Copies of this chain bind each other. A is one copy, B any other.
Amino acid sequence: MAPPRQVFVAIIGVGGVGKAFLGQLSQLAQRMSQNPSQPMYISLILLASSKKLLLSPNYHHLNLSTCASDLQSSTTTPMSPAEIAQYLEKAPEKTILIDNTSNQDIADAYPTFLAKGINVVTPNKKAFSSSLALWKEIFSAASNGTGSGGWVFHESSCGAGLPVISTLKELVETGDEVTRIEGVFSGTMSFLFNSFMPVGGGGGQFSAEVKKAKELGYTEPDPRDDLNGLDVARKLTILARMVGLDVESATSFPVQSLIPKELESCSSGDEFLEKLPQFDGQMDKTKEEAAKEGKVVRFVGSIDVAKKGVKVGLEKFDASHPIAALKGSDNIISFYTKRYGDNPLIIQGAGAGGEVTAMGVTGDLIKVLRLLHVQARRMSVVGRTD
């Protein structure tokens, strides 16, 4: 049996996902310390928000239960991603960076982190849906790409904690031929259209549903950040790249925005919400057309692998289609493949929310810990008997 071994963890981001993750990490650390067969313990050595930094300069572990409040009272000067990478590189044990932000600058530094042997776990979509060059740099540095650096896992970058990324990865790695991916990839859009046009009729005016969604906390502070379709486009970019399509960026394929052109220039989300009812007629027309065909309207993303076609926007579905039957703010993702034939492999459930998103991050962290644990054990065996 190997001796207990420390793994250093640095966390950036203490928003909704970040806070939920800290809670899950505390519990995980506690369970690991109670498990005699897991000779490894987690030491938090850095916690950062966009403005604050809590740092352990000598790599002593920070207190997991008080770190969130300690961060608030910290007066340490924030560090750049490059400085964080240097700090982690000098750590005396293996390190894992958990990026719970949606920050582009941190994402841009992933190749640097990975090349230095730092493992990266993140729900940050920007790292995998910005330029194709960044995607290629990340996976040519990472051990689970073609490189020999750190491992990178990003389950929660699509569908939150739902096993979307891992399932698609397994389909591809085991040699199945993915022909088509289709689904509802946004909890906000799911809620909006399940309310706006429920199966069986009814539903309110579109602008009223947007307002309700905002009040319930289902939208971004400015609902236009959901309605522009970019969030869905980013997720589709990630999945398309995973099946081998060289998608240049999240704006290099057709994405339908639900923001009326006239309201793109509104100075605030509030002004936008106030003026949106003037455009309900357009959405009513879309709804009526679908109803005439006995269908409902949903905001979906799809990838046609053979045609290399990626698109995001409104589509009509029969009432009996699984996409039409979705409830609440659930996501649904259907993978059509050669092995699965006519009936796709379907994953469905909550695709947004702090706890389920953090769960995907925690799950990835466990995968990295398992890989590091094997390294630790192997080294110990080598040291003693080889």
Residues of A within 8 A of B (CB): 1, 24, 27-28, 31, 35-37, 144-148, 161-163, 166-167, 170-171, 173-176, 320, 322, 325, 327-328, 330, 339-350, 353, 355-356, 359, 362-363, 366, 370-371, 374-375, 377-379, 382-383, 386
Which chain B residue lies CB-closest to A357? Answer: B339
Q: Which 3 A-B pairs have the closest CB atoms?
A: A345-B349, A346-B348, A37-B146
- Whether B349 and A328, one on each chain, are in contact in the complex, defined by CB atoms closer than 8 angstroms, is no
In Å, the complex CA distance between A339 and B352 comes to 11
Which chain B residues border A27 with CB–CB below 8 Å? 175
Jot down 15 A-B pairs with beta carbons below 8 A, ordered by A.
A1-B148, A27-B175, A35-B146, A166-B166, A170-B359, A170-B363, A320-B325, A325-B325, A340-B356, A345-B347, A345-B349, A347-B347, A347-B348, A370-B371, A378-B382
| Complex interface: chain B residues within 8 A of A371 (CB) | 370-371, 374
B339 adjacent to A343 (CB under 8 Å): no
Q: Nearest B residue to A330 by beta-carbon distance?
A: B343
Taking a contact as CB atoms under 8 Å apart, the answer to whether A174 and B359 are in contact is yes
Q: Determine which residue in A327, A353, A359, A371 has the highest number of CB atoms from chain B within 10 A of its CB, and name it.
A: A359
A356 and B343 form a contact (CB under 8 A): no
In the complex the two chains form, is A344's CB within 8 Å of B339's CB? Answer: no
Number of copies: 2
Chain B residues with Cβ below 8 Å from A35 are 146
| Separation of A28 and B162 alpha carbons in the complex (Å) | 26
Whether B343 contacts A327 by the Cβ 8 Å rule is yes
Q: A147 to B340, alpha carbons, bound, how many Å?
A: 36
Chain B residues near A327 (CB, 8 Å)? Answer: 343
Residue of B nearest to A23 (CB): B175
Closest to A27 in B: B175
Beta-carbon nearest neighbor of A386 in chain B? B379
A163 to B167, Cβ gap below 8 A? yes
Name which of A162, A166, A167, A366 has the most chain B CB atoms within 10 A of its CB. A167
Name the CB-closest residue of B to A362: B174
A343 to B347, CA, bound (A): 13
Indicate if the CB atoms of A356 and B339 lie closer than 8 Å: yes
A370 to B1, CA, bound (A): 21
List the B side residues contacting A174 at CB < 8 Å: 24, 28, 161, 359, 362-363, 366
Chain B residues with CB under 8 A of A322: 322, 325, 348
